[in-house]
Structure formats: C-alpha cells, structure tokens
Structure 1
Amino acid sequence: MRLAAVDIGSNTVHVLVADVVRDRLEEVAHYVEMPELGPQVARTGAIGSRGKAAIRALRSVLARASAHHYDHLIAGATEAIRVARDGEEFARQAGDAIGTPVHVISAHREAELSFLGVASRHAARREWVMVDLGGASTEVAIGRAREMVRWASLPVGSGVLASTYLADPPKPEERARMRRAALRELAQAPDGDVERLVATGGTASNLPAVLAKRNPPSVLTSDDLLQCEKRLDGARALEVSEKVGLPVNRVKAMRAGVEVLLLMLDWYGLAVLHISHEGLRHGMLQAYLERGGAWFR
C-alpha cells in the first residue's frame, strides 16, 4: 500500500509519499514549498489573501506527488491555521481544493504525531527529548523509549522569529533580542534528565547540508550549530542561498531556527543534537495505519 500525507505548516506545505512494507514506512518521495502563513498570522491574526498562495503551493506539491500513484491521501494543518481567526475556513477551502479533508490538528495531537514519527527511529531507552521546531511553534516532548510522558507547545518558531527580529543579514543586536525573546518562552518546556535531544522540522533537517553537501552529518555539536549560524549570517540571504543550495526563505527561517536549537541544547544540558528526518508526516501515516480515519484525534 502506498500512502501520502500533506502537512500545511506555518512556513511550509509538505507532502510525503511512503510505502507500507511489513508495517513500516519506506519513503518514496517528499515535496515542499514555502508559502509562509505564520508571519502573516502573527502580524494580522488572520491568513487572509495569503491563503491563495498556500493553496497554490498545496496543489503544486500534490501535482508532483501524484506521479507516484499513492492509494490514499491524508491532510493536516498546524499552528498558523490553529490560531488564525479564519483558520477553519482556510482548512475547508484547502480541503475542497485537493478533494481531501484538511484536519486542523491540536497542539497536543501534533506533539503526539511528531513524537510517533521521530520515535520510530530515534527512541532511547532512558528519557530523551524530541524538539519539533516549526515556523510558528515548537513542540517539545519527553519520552521513555517510545512512550511520550510529558510535552509542551512553545510559541516560538523559526519563521515568525526571523520575520519579527532579523534583518537581512542579521545584526548581532537583533540576534541578542531574538535570543532573549525565545529564552523567555523556554520556561514552559517540560523538565527532564534526558540523555538525548532529537530535532526534527525544516531547520533541523536542512542544517547538516549547510555544513557539508557531501555526506552531511546526522549529529551536530554546539560548535557545528555556531558554524551554521556564521555561514547563514555571513551575507544576504540570496547569496547564502546560492552557496548552500537552499531557498532564500528557508535560509532566513533557519537563521532563527539555529538559535532556538542552541538554546534547547543549553536548556537540557547537552552538547550534541541528533537530526531526525522522520517527524509529523511520518507520525500522521503511522497513526492512519493504527486508527484509520480517526488518525488526527
């Protein structure tokens, strides 16, 4: 069986296509675009006309995914759509556009689904922490093996932080203000004596390529993150984009995202973070296999 999952996030629209082989997911294809709903919602409280760009992005990624002839599609939306006053209407319009209901996922369920996806490959025996850094929020979950035991949704995200605090290229004083703002929100993070931090989301999955295009690392140290920060901040986003092979908007968001990951490492007293390319969309598909149409509840 071949499944597909669409995730309409605060920075991005993703679609994952995966085969189910012996009750495990094997990735077939992954497509992404960046309509950036989060900054618009943060400024105005509504998606408004930006929704048209998001629906165009949605149709675009699904047109590419359709070449892989999946059997079933599920779709979810996260923080920007959750908090926008017109979020439910946007979800209805998006669902009509793709012929599949778009479910607005609660913060708690988003944490559960991301944890489910990450734990499928990265669970540790003792306590560990998953950090799903998105465009407008960060889901943090403490786990024991594959059980999520504590969680929190923090109102910090790479896209909103970058658009609120950072110029192009960022100035040191702007980074300092952003760092203080993010650090205030970390007080809500769940406590834990964790042995491992596993990060997922767009910033985490793309940072290794900033360090090395060939054989990008799967584990990053604090020094690695600081080196990424230096490279991302070293010129205007267009120039950095050409050097690292990432879209301009992704570069801008990652400038804020790397700061959040540095703060998370420090918060939990760790020196390295593990990168997970599994996350929310993998969790959505695993939940669909377990619960069918009730996967989002």
Structure 2
Amino acid sequence: MTDAEAGVSRGTDDVEDESSDDPSQNRGFFGRIFEAFSPNDPSQPLIFTNGRDAAASGMPGLANLRNMRVEDVAIPRIEIVSVPEEIERDELVQVFRDSGLTRLPVYRESLDHPIGMVHLKDFALQHGFNGHTAELDLPTMLRPLIYAPPSMPIGVLMQKMQNDRMHMALVIDEYGGVDGLVTIEDLIEQVVGEIEDEHDTDEDKHFTEESPGCYLASARTPLEEFETEIGLRLVDAEDEEEIDTLGGAVVMLTGRLPARGEVIPHPSGAEFEIVDADPRRIKRVRVRLPKPADE
C-alpha cells in the first residue's frame, strides 16, 4: 500500500464507518478478527512478545496482532500530511487533492499540538465536492484522534480503534511529541497482507521520475530495467544473478533490512531513501542520482 502511500488513510472507509452509532453494527471485520484471535478461555490473557520476532516469519497473520508494536508499523513524523487549524478552504481542498488522503490531522501552531482530524467526507457534505459553497468552519468538522505510545501492541490499538470507531492514531513519544501516525489500514495489512486500492500505483508502473535525477520506485522494480533507465550500475557483476529487484540491491548494500526514513549512500554517489517499509520488507524507495561533475 501507499503514499499513504504515504497512503496512510485510504482504503478503509468501507471497513467500518466512524459515524455508525449502533455497536452491534461495528463488530464486522474487526469483531471477527478478535473472535478468531482471542483464546477460547477468556481468562487466559494474550501474551505479547518482541515485534521483531514477529517480523522474522516475513508473513502477515493474526500472530502479528500480539507480536508487533505500534512503532513497527507507524509512518514517521516527516511523512505525516497534516494541516494547521487556520488553513483556508481552497488550501485544504488542494491538500486533499494532492495527497489523495481522506483524513488529515489538524494541529495548532505545530504538529506536536494536534487538535483533531478532518475527514474529506465531512468537508464534502458541508462545502460540496468543489469546496466552494460556504466559508470554511474547520472547528465544527474536527473529529477526535487516538493517541498511542510506540510500545503498544497493534492488536490493542486495533481493538481500541474499533471500540472508539476511529481510524487514525498519532504515536506520541516519551516527551509528548508526535512521533508517527497509524491508520487502521496499516494494522489490517499486518494481518491480511498489503492492501492496494485505485489510488495506488499500477503494478506495471514500477517507478516514476519526480524530478530530474530523482525517482520514486517500488522495491519490486526489476533491477535491470531500472539500471537501464538511470544509466548506472547498482550491483557488481558477480551479484547480478542473485539480485533481481531494486529492493534486493538496497538490502545487499546494507547487509540488513533498512528502516523507513533511512538514507543509504551508494558508492556511485547515488542515494537510496527508504520511503515506505515495514519490519518484513521494503516497499518504496526514492533514488537520487549523483549530480554530473560539471554541476
């Protein structure tokens, strides 16, 4: 999944609607997950272990609800798309359009002082889909947010999201600042695998050139195809038979699975920025090519 890919809050509107007032109608998908996941004996507590142990299997599954922590799946602060409370109507429309997101955190002064979330549906119902029917009254549209510590097991957060009928949580560090963001879609993907919707990049389009010398690419991009595009060899000749994808080249370069937000230099002068990843795999990479010598 994506952007946020990123698509951080897309693709979950049909799973469970926050506006539903009947608890019996909110059981749905999450209720069935927790029924299947919970022990038959309700007196037996769930045991949570280290999130990296869960990642070792490399596969989604119900066990991840116990074993993975919020910090394992949250997108970093730098990737959070948010808006100030004093934003103008047309500016808000543009943020929704550019990001493709349906939910945006709203802050006062800085992101470390969040005051709620604005939903595209609420905005469209009040202002029309073109956003030109009335002056923006953002405070009346704000919905509450969930705040979660990085160490919270994702199963606990998912259950809280279901109970509170909220689809977005901000991760708060030990100093009370915002450290990341998690949506229900991020949590579901740890159980059922990656979710892609109509906003995600087509499978056949492995990479796009964001600007001259800067590419945003799927980790599954065929390495030979990408090397031909950029005119640069990214792996040694003896490793070409073993490395088929751009993500594989990055892992080979680091000797480990890099974390989201990490920037990895290449001997050629290129840089790999890990845009999207989880504890099991890299998803998207931003590649910055070295500048020509005459620059």
Higher helix share: 1
* TM-score calculated relative to the size of structure 1: 0.27
Tell me which structure has the larger Cα radius of gyration. 2
